[in-house]
Amino acid sequence: MPYFSLSIRQSILRTLVCAGLFPFAAAAQDAPAAKPQATAAVGTDAQDTPDAPQPSTPVTMFPHTVKSRFFASGQANIIFQANPPFHSPYEGVNSFVSRGEYKTSLVGTLFLGMQLRRSPHTPTDLIVNFESAGGRGLSQALGLAGFTNLDVVRNPNLGSKPYLARLQIHQIIGLSSKTVQHTRDQFSLATEVPEKRIDIRVGKMSLPDTFDQNAVGSDSHMQFTNWTIDNQGAWDYAADTRGYTWGAIVGLETPGYTLRYGIATMPTVANGIDVDYALRRASGQNIEFVAREPAKLKGTTIRLLSFVNHADMGTYRVANRIALATNTTPDVTATRVQGTVKYGFNVNLEQQLPGGYRVFSRWGWNEGQHESFAYTEVDQSFSAGVDRSGDSWGRPNDRLGIAFVTNAIKRDHQRYLQLGGLGFLLGDGNLNYAREDTTEFYYNAHAWRGLFLALGGSVIFHPGYNQDRGPVIVPSVRSHFEF
């Protein structure tokens, strides 16, 4: 991977300069160690993260009982983002718009659940979620590989009509007589589970609810908002354009490690809303190993993920050859072959530190020869970040964070965009290639009960991998409400 070594050193130096825009050092004064913060955020994997004590200040509008067979909660997340005009000598159909604009997104989710079986050794849950995703993203969510707002649906024509987001049967099968306390949340209703167990989910889901979780960078509603910071950008995980799929996940859970496998439906076309239900023909398969405090490394979690996708995908090199031979613009969709294979790997590290600090990093890679299909146009990604709770300044439910991500694509993908080809997100009409580098920061304040308010922003170098364009500055304001 010769395109990685030199440019990533330049990217890291650049982010150190950008970090000067964020008053992070002001919070680094000597202070007693912070208590863990617990929130009911979407995406938290309670099986990977030790249960934390509940905060003394309520973080939902209404209290949630742990005794009822039924569960109901909800949340709304509003993100306002803007960008001023920036340098751009040319633009294409899928470019991030250089004239400057502002947009607002709104996502509301209703979480419902019922314990069909309440046995501590074999509990069974029915999970049903309804969602509405409205508003718009900057440039209609085009022109950036690591887009600035994970809440934005990549097809704005779908509108904000409510839809079924999740419909799952969640089954736990105990492998030990010993049970442990478990924090009840939207995806798992039991308050007591076997210490060793098989965990099964079948139905409609979002794969990042379970795979590639991270306590620092996985929740766009309470933490960072960039697509490739909250998720691994090189993980082209099976999903429709709203981020959901139908599938099954089976996991072995123990105190020291987790091993899980999942298979899910792929979209029929890149970034499509319809999925192919014939798993023999098209599927996304994932396997993940999670090690908690390996080799007695206190506060350390390591996650190793591999994926293999089978779908009706095209090949960039073939599209380029056809375009050069016929003096036309390449079109990767014209080279699609059913059963094409795309695969990749991801390493996810998380570390708890004294003083309320937590750090994380992710490194991901996929083979990049075949069409970016389900998530975003990234073939390689490295991200790292840190956050800190507000205990030391008397606000235990506040949190601030800063993270950096650098994304890349392979040479055939680069050449495709240089010749004027279009992906489902990118296409400036030309390309002077460079890695896309982004620094994001935020401060999330707990205003009252279930209301959180956040200020943040991003600095993006080489939007869409094009060093002829940018940099782009995107300030952000977020409000989050839970009940």
Q: Model confidence over 50-70: pLDDT tens digits? A: 444 445 577 888 888 888 999
Q: Quick one: what percent of the chain has pLDDT higher than 90?
A: 83
Cα–Cα–Cα angle for 52, 57, 60, nearest 5°?
A: 85
Tokens of 304: 């190793």
Q: Is 117 within the bounds of a domain?
A: no
Cα 376 to chain centroid, rounded: 11
Taking the model in full, what pTM does it have? 0.87
| Over residues 393-408, mean pLDDT | 96
State residue 419 phi and psi, 5-degree precision: -80, 0
| Over residues 116-138, mean pLDDT | 95
**383/359 Cα distance (integer angstroms):** 11
Inter-CA distances, 118 with 48, 73, 125, 186, Å: 22, 20, 9, 16
Q: Evaluate whether 264 touches 245 at the Cβ level (below 8 Å).
A: yes
Quote the DSSP letter at residue 466. Answer: B
User: Would you place residue 23 in the very low, low, confident or very high pLDDT band (cuts 50, 70, 90)?
Assistant: very low
User: Would you place residue 27 in the very low, low, confident or very high pLDDT band (cuts 50, 70, 90)?
Assistant: very low
Tell me how many domains the chain contains.
Answer: 1
Q: Is 120 within the bounds of a domain?
A: no
pLDDT the model gives residue 56: 56
User: Would you place residue 482 in the very low, low, confident or very high pLDDT band (cuts 50, 70, 90)?
Assistant: very high
pLDDT the model gives residue 154: 77
pLDDT the model gives residue 53: 42
Beta bridge partners of 350: 301, 360
Q: Is 317 within the bounds of a domain?
A: yes
**432/2 Cα distance (integer angstroms):** 17
Residue 156 has pLDDT above 80, yes or no: no
Residue 464's domain comprises 2-107+137-160+168-177+196-482
Q: Report, in this order, helix, strand and coil percent for the chain, each rounded to 5.
A: 15, 45, 40
Q: Evaluate whether 101 touches 112 at the Cβ level (below 8 Å).
A: no
Rg from Cα positions in the chain: 22
Residue 35 has pLDDT above 50, yes or no: no
**Across 12-26, 183-197, 425-439, 467-481, least confident range:** 12-26
| Over residues 226-244, mean pLDDT | 97
Residue labelled with tokens 């439906």 = 265
Q: Is 189 within the bounds of a domain?
A: no
More confident residue, 411 or 296: 411
User: Would you place residue 24 in the very low, low, confident or very high pLDDT band (cuts 50, 70, 90)?
Assistant: very low
pLDDT the model gives residue 47: 46
**278/260 Cα distance (integer angstroms):** 22
Residue 14 has pLDDT above 60, yes or no: no
**426/24 Cα distance (integer angstroms):** 33
Please report how the helices 411-418 and 316-326 are oriented relative to each other, as an axis angle in degrees rounded to 10: 40
Residue 294 burial (CB count, 10 A): 12
Residue 26 has pLDDT above 80, yes or no: no
Residue 218 has pLDDT above 60, yes or no: yes
| Over residues 185-191, mean pLDDT | 94
Q: Own/partner pairs for 412-415, CB < 8 Å, 24+ apart?
A: 412/315, 412/316, 412/317, 412/320, 412/368, 412/369, 413/316, 413/368, 413/372, 413/377, 413/379, 414/465, 415/316, 415/320
**331/91 Cα distance (integer angstroms):** 18
**133/136 Cα distance (integer angstroms):** 9
**37/50 Cα distance (integer angstroms):** 12
Select from 361, 75, 353, 355 the least CA-distant residue to 214. Answer: 361
Q: Evaluate whether 200 touches 248 at the Cβ level (below 8 Å).
A: yes
Q: Is 44 within the bounds of a domain?
A: yes
Q: How do strand 101-117 and strand 124-135 relate by DSSP bridges?
A: antiparallel
Q: Evaluate whether 99 touches 139 at the Cβ level (below 8 Å).
A: no
Residues contacting 241, CB < 8 A, separation 6+: 153, 154, 155, 158, 267, 271, 272, 273
Q: Is 267 within the bounds of a domain?
A: yes
Q: Is 116 within the bounds of a domain?
A: no
**25/42 Cα distance (integer angstroms):** 29
**Across 3-7, 81-85, 277-281, least confident range:** 3-7
pLDDT 10s digits, 405-439: 999 999 999 999 999 999 999 999 999 999 999 99
Q: Is 188 within the bounds of a domain?
A: no
Containing 451, the helix (H) or strand (E) segment is strand 451-461
Taken in order 232, 236, 240, 244, is the CA torsion positive or negative? negative
**Across 36-45, 68-77, 367-376, least confident range:** 36-45
Beta bridge partners of 456: 442, 476
> Rounded mean pLDDT of the chain?
89
